[in-house]
Structure 1
Amino acid sequence: MTDNNNPQFLLFAQHGWADNGNSIGRLARAVATPKTIVTVPSLGLIKTFISIEPLVRKLEQIATAAIEKYPHTPLKIIGHSMGGLMWLEVLDRNPQWWHKVHSLILLGSPVGGSNLARIIDPFGIGIGTAKCLGRNRRLTAEKIAQHIPTLSVASDINMGTDGLVTLENTKFDYANWLLVSDIPHSAMRSHPQMISIIQNFWTNPNLGSPPDLDSTSQFIQRLRRLPGMTDTDYRNFKRSQIVASLADGATIHTWKNYLGVNHVYVGKPQQQCIYAGYVGLIHAAGLEKAIATLVSDNA
């Protein structure tokens, strides 16, 4: 039984879109030590379809109350999918908490902006939570991860996706990134494999490495920052054509689907895809120009 008068940690576990706190609550209680107070806000399954902002405010209120009650107790945070994005928003608004946070663990969180959400709401006009889920939060996540030990866990069930969130969506600088296999997106909030992953990171929480400085990594970073760029999966990589090569041997590929959507891929030897993204029609010319410029810069 937890000693509420002298807890060792406050553990917050947050569910995501179309969910409640039941599954991630079981995961949180499975990993928590006896001296940990576990808080699993269930923010309303239906409400997760409407807007993320009221959910963020409610989560912030719950966290504030707990921190005020236990001002000297460190925090552990686990967020699944949109739950991880909500915690990024809360932490961004409360940098005074950062020194209190032992670790931040994101399970299948589309930090780079959900490609599915952008398909639903391609112009960001505000169709339910799609606009919020499609937002690129990399700069926010990277700012936080430079101060808080952060682990981003992704799963690949087929060609660079967990069935809902792509591997590319989960990647950002300064975080530790871990890839698992064959765990569907919804199962990441309760899969037994997550128990050892979480506990291992808690044993030695550390800040991730700074960005790589090699030409390929810089090229990918610049691609991600292009207007309209959306990270996607790797399934059509083999249908793409090589259009250029970088100095270190990486290859740049492009492909256009039947709707005319322009995709760009970065490959390594043995036909391994290490980045995939696409832009809509209004940004197609910009992508073509950017590839030419970026290749020239990296030649």
Structure 2
Amino acid sequence: MVNSQSPYILFVQHGWHDTNRRVHRLGHSLADAQTEVIAPNLGLIKTWWRMEPLVAEVERVAIAAQQRHPDRPWRIVGHSMGGLIWLELLQRHPDWWPQVASVSLVSSPVGGADLGRIFDPYRWGIGIARDLGTDRRQIAEQLAQHMPIQTIASDYDGGSDGTVPIQCSQFRHARYTQLSGIRHDNTKDHPAVITAIQDFWAAPTALAKTLEDPVEDTIIAALQSIPGMTDAHRRDFDRALPWANLDHGFTICTWRHPLSIHHVFLADEQNRCRFAGFVGWPDTRGLYDGLTAIKQRYSAL
């Protein structure tokens, strides 16, 4: 159980193509005088290759910190891939869970980075692309039922922070905070991000917002479960054509990119885009098998 009276350890982790300089500054902006700020520098070049050695390095640092201060509670902040590293670690270390006071994921592609899937559609392991494109939503949702987790996204261009689609940062059971007008690179130390994290720390156990439409969430969950489904930007929604009408006014729409990458969108009764995703070439057939099953299941809700 977290001892809220004890000084904290604050882990802040940078992500891909980055060093710890700016997230270290973020950590010191958040910390009080008693908090120990730990910001491992994984090295810019190493973040291009594989995630597992990066996870191992942060694990080594965390174990050393725990041995130094076994009773101190942890606050964790991860930017972009840094958040994914901590999801991997927390899944592997349930023994750490009682020590975790809060987790804040900032611009983290929890559902799998679309750029990662585009660069490595067959998941051959091209650089870091396969690791970034992996869907960790199930891991995040499980963890969020055991510890307070916040996920922060910014809508910079009508659907993403310029790099990560906002939908990619969303998952169930977490506190979702959406900012606007901040590019991905600037979310690592922006004043609005600092305020959002501080607000979360002030009431980390407050219940996450109840879903406004459970039917919509159920359909989206079914779409997300289709093998290979990756969150996409909503910019191509207007190009899509209706594929199936569902009950409650929902419509599945599809669009094929010129490179034969198949996209799927969910529109509500007001023709607003509620979900955007795509699958890579190997999963195209499975996409339409999955959509057919959804049509059969949700046309009689």
TM over 0.5: yes
Q: CA deviation at 1:242?
A: 1.7
2:80: which partner in 1? 81
272-281 or 195-204: bigger deviation: 272-281
Q: CA deviation at 1:280?
A: 2.4
Paired with 1:15 and 1:259, the residues of 2 have a C-alpha distance of 33
Decide whether the 8 Å contact of 1:150 with 1:208 is kept in 2. Answer: no
Decide whether the 8 Å contact of 1:212 with 1:218 is kept in 2. Answer: no
Paired with 1:247 and 1:292, the residues of 2 have a C-alpha distance of 14
Paired with 1:210 and 1:292, the residues of 2 have a C-alpha distance of 29
2:228: which partner in 1? 228
Paired with 2:254 and 2:269, the residues of 1 have a C-alpha distance of 16
285-294 or 141-150: bigger deviation: 285-294
Cα gap change, 1:57/1:210 in structure 2, threshold over 3 Å: closer, same or farther? farther
Paired with 2:176 and 2:235, the residues of 1 have a C-alpha distance of 21
Matching of residues 47-58 of structure 1 within 5 Å: 47-58=46-57
Paired with 1:43 and 1:286, the residues of 2 have a C-alpha distance of 37
Q: TM-score, normalised by structure 2?
A: 0.93
**Local SS of the residue matching 1:197:** helix
1:94: which partner in 2? 93
Matching of residues 202-281 of structure 1 within 5 Å: 202-206=201-205, 208=208, 214-281=214-281
**Local SS of the residue matching 1:143:** helix
Cα gap change, 1:211/1:286 in structure 2, threshold over 3 Å: closer, same or farther? farther
1:171: which partner in 2? 170
Q: CA deviation at 1:209?
A: 5.9
Decide whether the 8 Å contact of 2:107 with 2:154 is kept in 1. Answer: yes
CA RMSD of aligned residues (A): 1.6
Aligned length: 294
219-228 or 105-114: bigger deviation: 219-228
2:156: which partner in 1? 157
Identity within the alignment, %? 41
Decide whether the 8 Å contact of 1:78 with 1:107 is kept in 2. Answer: yes
Q: TM-score, normalised by structure 1?
A: 0.94
Residues 202-261 of structure 1, C-alpha deviations (whole Å, 9 max, x = no match): 000025368788322111111111112111100000111122232221221111111221
Paired with 2:118 and 2:281, the residues of 1 have a C-alpha distance of 13
2:34: which partner in 1? 35
Q: CA deviation at 1:87?
A: 0.5
Q: CA deviation at 1:185?
A: 0.4
Matching of residues 129-148 of structure 1 within 5 Å: 129-148=128-147
Residues 4-46 of structure 1, C-alpha deviations (whole Å, 9 max, x = no match): xx96100000000011111011111011112111111111111
Decide whether the 8 Å contact of 2:121 with 2:281 is kept in 1. Answer: no
Paired with 1:196 and 1:71, the residues of 2 have a C-alpha distance of 29
Residues 101-129 of structure 1, C-alpha deviations (whole Å, 9 max, x = no match): 11000000001111101111111111111
Residues 114-161 of structure 1, C-alpha deviations (whole Å, 9 max, x = no match): 110111111111111111111111111111111110011111111311
276-285 or 90-99: bigger deviation: 276-285
Decide whether the 8 Å contact of 1:7 with 1:36 is kept in 2. Answer: no
Decide whether the 8 Å contact of 1:174 with 1:211 is kept in 2. Answer: no
Q: Which runs of 5+ in 2 are unaligned?
A: none
Decide whether the 8 Å contact of 1:173 with 1:209 is kept in 2. Answer: no
Cα gap change, 1:282/1:146 in structure 2, threshold over 3 Å: closer, same or farther? same
Q: Which runs of 5+ in 1 are unaligned?
A: 1-5
Decide whether the 8 Å contact of 1:215 with 1:247 is kept in 2. Answer: no
Decide whether the 8 Å contact of 1:51 with 1:129 is kept in 2. Answer: yes
Decide whether the 8 Å contact of 1:173 with 1:211 is kept in 2. Answer: no
Paired with 2:175 and 2:52, the residues of 1 have a C-alpha distance of 27
User: Is 1:292–2:285 an aligned residue pair?
Assistant: no
Amino acid paired to 1:37: E
Decide whether the 8 Å contact of 1:27 with 1:190 is kept in 2. Answer: yes
Paired with 2:95 and 2:43, the residues of 1 have a C-alpha distance of 28
Decide whether the 8 Å contact of 2:12 with 2:76 is kept in 1. Answer: yes
